[in-house]
Amino acid sequence: MTDRSKQKNWAGLNFNNSYVQLPSAFFSRQSPSKVRDPHIVLFNQPLASSLGLDSNALMSTQGEEVFSGNKIPEGTDPIAQAYAGHQFGHFNILGDGRAILLGEHITPDKMRVDIQLKGAGATAYSRRGDGRAALGPMLREYIISEAMHALNIPSTRSLAVVTTGEPVYRERTLPGAILTRVAASHIRVGTFQYASSSLGVEGVRSLADYTINRHFADLEGTENKYSAFLDAVIDRQSKLIAQWMSVGFIHGVMNTDNMSICGETIDYGPCAFMDNYDQATVFSSIDQLGRYAFGNQPHMGQWNLARFAETLLPLLSQHSNLSIQIAEDALHGFSIKLKRHWLSIMGRKLGLFNEQSGDLSLVEDLLSVMQNYQMDYTNTLRKLANIVENPESISNQTDFIQWHQRWHQRLQSQAESIESAIELMQSNNPSVIARNHQVESALAAAEQGDLSLTAELIEVLSQPYDENPKNKPYQAAPPASSEPYKTFCGT
């Protein structure tokens, strides 16, 4: 068979690789290791079209060869990226241990995206790892990252999952798989930490200049562009975490190497959505101290950004005192920005068209009622739109009924009609989220070779604001169980 993937622009792929222009210490050239018997099990047709890719060409034997790393299409320059990171507070030199960046694809509308194969074999940064990934975690990343995208939350995307026909050895022997991940870039807080600790100020400067050019081009030419860059990263990150908080998303492993500079959610390992509202919710089995608990995410976001700001200190000013002042002022802005973003999202979720002085306590009081009575976060907010007149159908607890009266008065005091408030709520409160027990059932079936539940779940989660009868089973809270749900790092 002729290798059509070697033809220029095969399947619409249009590579133009800029990361390899950075100093060579930022990456290692590395081709994927071949796998025995690749099969596409998931393919994201809407994403492919939005990237200008030809789905028919990709959903083929050639496509399987490309998504598995067995064949390298024309124009790629495969690398593993170097980075460092604070993992649960401890600094380590890391790097892509099992992910290989094929290159940067330029879409028809001139967007530049990374196309990366996750689970594509060992690299210079694999340490003791095997460079491989198991099917369950790769499907999980596909399901949840696409669900986040459908919730309008910036996220890396998932283009395909292939099985490799090879086993991977974890606590059990599992089927191996590779995820094709699409991201605005894979530049992390940890990439800056690597530059700072291993390459010094000139390394940080080249990375900062590269990142500004790639993601914050409007800052070129501003007076202190590095300080503006810090502010812009803080702004995107504050908005991102506010969005996570608004849907009950728990990232689970907010190490600095898992925090993308351009403000996308990245690295779906032990992440999960919470059912009952509880600030202390932790799902990850390795997060025993609750460092990355739901309610701690804003604080950890700020901690990570402080590590980022430290790497920029030598660029912020020639005087170290002034640099520290600039960084502290910028970091101080984080919690203010986050709260502002969060309150504006939460206001829309409660059907409020503008902001008034009592709104913060209106939101916070609802959350404390939910916390006190272990109410389901997603379902309670979604139901509010349907019970504007009839709160008892959610709860007959006195504090909830009293809260409801206050909220109802607030709705009546705004100029917009109740009907438009209801519409606003329905388009801001998802009727479905990726619930842990549903995701687990889908993955269990997939491991036995039945992908139908996974496909159906992905379909339902792609329209999270619809009131589709198909959504009903997916709205169910998990069955009562004595064992709290646990997630494991996606290795």
> Which residues form the catalytic set?
257
- Select from 71, 86, 98, 337 the one that contacts ligand AMP (CB under 6 A): 98
- Site membership for ligand AMP, residue 489 (CB under 6 A): yes
Question: By C-beta, is 96 or 104 nearer to Mg ion?
Answer: 96
Give residue number: closest CB to Mg ion: 267
Q: How many residues bind Mg ion (CB under 5 A)?
A: 2
User: Are 190 and 85 spatial neighbours (Cβ–Cβ below 8 Å)?
Assistant: yes
Q: Which of 94, 120, 245, 346 binds ligand AMP (CB under 6 A)?
A: 94
Of 264, 254, 262, 356, the closest CA to residue 298 belongs to 254
Smallest distance, ligand AMP to C-beta of residue 168, A: 8
Instruction: Verify binding: residue 132, ligand AMP, rule CB under 6 A.
Output: yes
131 binds, among Mg ion, ligand AMP, none (CB under 5 to 8 A by kind): ligand AMP
Please identify which residue in 89, 129, 358, 473 interacts with ligand AMP, judged by CB under 6 A.
Answer: 129
Should residue 215 be labelled a site residue for ligand AMP when binding is judged by CB under 6 A? no
Residue 267 contacts Mg ion per CB under 5 A? yes
Count of positions on this chain that bind ligand AMP (CB under 6 A):
19
Cα–chain center distance at 261? 12
| Residue 97 lies near ligand AMP (rule: CB under 6 A) | yes
Question: Which residues are 173's β-sheet partners?
Answer: 169
Ramachandran region, residue 103 (left: φ > 0; alpha: ψ -120 to 50; beta: rest): left
The residues in 257-316 that bind ligand AMP, with binding defined as CB under 6 A, are: 257-258, 267, 269
By CB under 6 A, tell whether 183 contacts ligand AMP: no
- In whole angstroms, how close is the CB of 253 to Mg ion at the nearest point? 7
Q: Among 44-52, 91-99, 173-181, 395-403, which window interacts with ligand AMP (CB under 6 A)?
A: 91-99
- Closest distance of CB 61 from Mg ion, Å: 31
Report the nearest approach of ligand AMP to the CB of residue 271 (Å).
11
Residue 96 in contact with Mg ion, rule: CB under 5 A:
no
Question: Does residue 265 belong to the site contacting Mg ion (CB under 5 A)?
Answer: no
* Contacted entry of Mg ion, ligand AMP, none for residue 165, CB cut-off 5 to 8 Å set by kind: none
368 binds ligand AMP, rule: CB under 6 A: no
CB count within 10 Å of CB 96 equals: 24
HEC sequence for the chain:
CCCHHHCCCHHHCCECCCHHHCCHHHEEECCCCCCCCCEEEEECHHHHHHCCCCHHHHCCHHHHHHHCCCCCCCCCCCEEECCEEEECCEEEECCCCCEEEEEEEECCCCCEEEEEEECCCCCCCCCCCCCCEEHHHHHHHHHHHHHHHHCCCCECEEEEEEEEEEEEECCCEEEEEEEEEEECCCCEHHHHHHHHHHHHHHHHHHHHHHHHHHHCHHHCCCCCHHHHHHHHHHHHHHHHHHHHHHHCEECCCCCHHHCECCCCECCCCCCEECCECCCCCCCECCCCCCCCCHHHHHHHHHHHHHHHHHHHHHHHCCCHHHHHHHHHHHHHHHHHHHHHHHHHHHHHHCCCCCCCCCHHHHHHHHHHHHHHCCCEHHHHHHHHCCCCCCHHHCCCCHHHHHHHHHHHHHHHCCCCCHHHHHHHHHCCCCCCCCCHHHHHHHHHHHHCCCCHHHHHHHHHHCCCCCCCHHHHHHHCCCCCCCCCCCECCCC
Judged by CB under 5 A, the stretch of 12-20, 253-261, 397-405, 437-445 that binds Mg ion is 253-261
State yes or no: residue 491 binds ligand AMP (CB under 6 A).
Answer: yes
The answer to whether 231 contacts Mg ion (rule: CB under 5 A) is: no
Tokens matching residue 62 = 């050639």
Q: Which among ligand AMP, Mg ion, none contacts residue 440 (Cβ within 5 to 8 A by kind)?
A: none
Residue number with CB closer to ligand AMP (94 or 151): 94
CB of 83 to ligand AMP, least distance (A): 7
Q: Which residue among 258, 311, 395, 429 contacts Mg ion (CB under 5 A)? A: 258
What, of Mg ion, ligand AMP, none, does residue 132 touch, CB below 5 to 8 Å by kind? ligand AMP
**Contact, 101 vs 188, CB < 8 A?**
no
Query: Per CB under 6 A, which region of 89-97, 151-159, 371-379, 479-487 contacts ligand AMP?
Result: 89-97
We find the least distance from the C-beta atom of residue 161 to ligand AMP, in angstroms, to be 16
- Binding segment for Mg ion (CB under 5 A), chosen from 12-20, 203-211, 250-258, 322-330, is 250-258
Backbone angles phi, psi at 342, to 5 degrees: -65, -45
List the single partner that 270 binds among ligand AMP, Mg ion, none, CB under 5 to 8 Å by kind.
none
Q: Residues interacting with ligand AMP, by CB under 6 A?
A: 94-98, 125-126, 129-132, 253, 257-258, 267, 269, 489-491
Q: Residues interacting with Mg ion, by CB under 5 A?
A: 258, 267
